[in-house]
Amino acid sequence: MWRARRWVAALALVALVGCGDDEADITFHAPETLQGRDLEIATQAALTFFEVCPNLGKWWSSVAEASLYTAEGDEIPLYRERDYGWRAEVRLRITLRDDRDRLTYGVLGTKHVTGYPPTGHTLYYNLGGGARPGVVAVKTVSQAVCGWPVQDSDLHIPLQKLALVDQLAHQ
């Protein structure tokens, strides 16, 4: 599902995400092929994601690396096209530092279902528009970090503002 791609240090997004008294510089990297209007849409979708997952913005200093890219057509799993009407999506890949002293159970406001803190994990989130705009989290740790219900199957979190993903080119 997640194809290896050549990543460049192109800055896709830098924003201040406020969570109470704390603010975080949110930075994602994107492939050099993501440009222009598609980059703007992907960036806005990534910012919108933090509305339903504020834990990551609040504790962004625990993130080692974050990247975003888009997928269309045959790259979209059939069930997401069928069940949600997605023809394009923005994919977020966020790797947490492997730092057990710094990132504790309480820092992200949750325990991973195994009982271990989620250090060193890579989180995956798929953002789409279609008939049912929202976020799909595949891994249970991705679900837990956001404070969502944890289930063994993909979890869809509705977010109407992600309908903007339908504007991606080449659909």
* 94 Cβ contact partners less than 8 Å away, ≥ 6 residues apart: 56, 63, 65, 66, 122, 123, 124, 125
**Mean pLDDT throughout 141-151?**
89
pLDDT, residue 102, reads: 52
Give residue-wise pLDDT tens across range 23-72: 557 789 999 999 999 999 999 999 999 999 988 887 788 889 999 999 99
Whether residue 39 is contained in a domain is answered as yes
Give residue-wise pLDDT tens across range 128-138: 999 999 999 98
Range of the domain at 65: 11-167
Distance separating alpha carbons of residues 11 and 124, to the nearest angstrom = 19
pLDDT, residue 117, reads: 53
Whether residue 2 is contained in a domain is answered as no
Distance separating alpha carbons of residues 3 and 73, to the nearest angstrom = 14
Whether residue 133 is contained in a domain is answered as yes
Whether residue 83 is contained in a domain is answered as yes
Whether residue 1 is contained in a domain is answered as no
Total number of domains constituting the chain: 1
Give residue-wise pLDDT tens across range 75-129: 999 999 999 999 999 999 999 888 655 544 444 445 544 444 567 889 999 999 9
